Amino acid sequence: MPPKPKARAGVKLSSWVGFLIVVVSLAVVVGIIVAANSGDDEGISGDVDTSLLTEDFIDEGLAQALKVEGKDAVSVRLSEYDLTVEYFDPNNRETRYFETNDYVEGYELRVEKSHYDSYQPVPFDLSTIDAATMIAAVKDALTKTDDVYTYDLRIDVDRDTGDVQWVVSVGGDDSIQVTSAP
């Protein structure tokens, strides 16, 4: 009778070893799949949400803003939360914000009265803004710091030079700001 308990112990041990091999194999496969799917954001570290960095989302938002508000924008902002196109009406001293995101269908249009007589932003042609260039500017800035948790791209006209400027602000281990004029 003593050999039977040893045989059972051997069977239990081999079952556990087999189970562990299956679990480790599944973990390796899941790791490989996750690594393969994250290749689009290579070089970007941290918990920043880059799901809005797609040409479809940005192109659709810019096209809607053009259709609803026109081409004379005073700024475009893209963050991990939304795309906002700002317009300014100097006659009525009003700022209009066209906002779109991926969690509410359509867009929101907010209007705010300007309280500053000196506020006079310079408009630029919204149709000249390209989604692929926006994505490239943000992704480039995201690779310049570690543990990124936020980004914000702002496109507007520099008051000193009159040129359209692109400023990407990234929050991470070292918060940075990258300014360019594509």
What is the structure's pLDDT at 136? 94
100 contacts 107 by C-beta, under 8 angstroms: yes
Whether residues 35 and 59 fall in one domain: no
State whether 31 and 64 are in the same domain: no
Residues of the chain with pLDDT under 50: 7, 9, 19-20, 22-40
Do residue 80 and residue 167 come from a single domain?
Answer: yes
Say yes or no: 64 and 107 in one domain.
Answer: yes
User: What is the model's pLDDT at position 15?
Assistant: 59
84 and 33 in a single domain? The answer is no
Instruction: Kindly state whether residues 171 and 111 are assigned to the same domain.
Output: yes
Instruction: Mark whether 10 and 87 lie in a shared domain.
Output: no
Q: Structurally, how many domains does the chain consist of? A: 2
Residues 69 and 92 in one domain: yes
Residue type, 30: V
49 in any annotated domain: no
pLDDT reported for residue 20: 46
Q: Is 72 in the same domain as 8?
A: no
Same domain, 176 and 95: yes
Decide if 50 is inside a domain: no
Name the residue among 23, 58, 26 with its Cα closest to residue 139: 58
Domain co-membership, 82 together with 142: yes
User: What's the pLDDT at 41?
Assistant: 52
Range of the domain at 59: 55-180
**In this predicted structure, what is the pLDDT of residue 33?**
34
pLDDT for 28: 40
Q: Are 107 and 99 in contact (CB under 8 A)?
A: yes
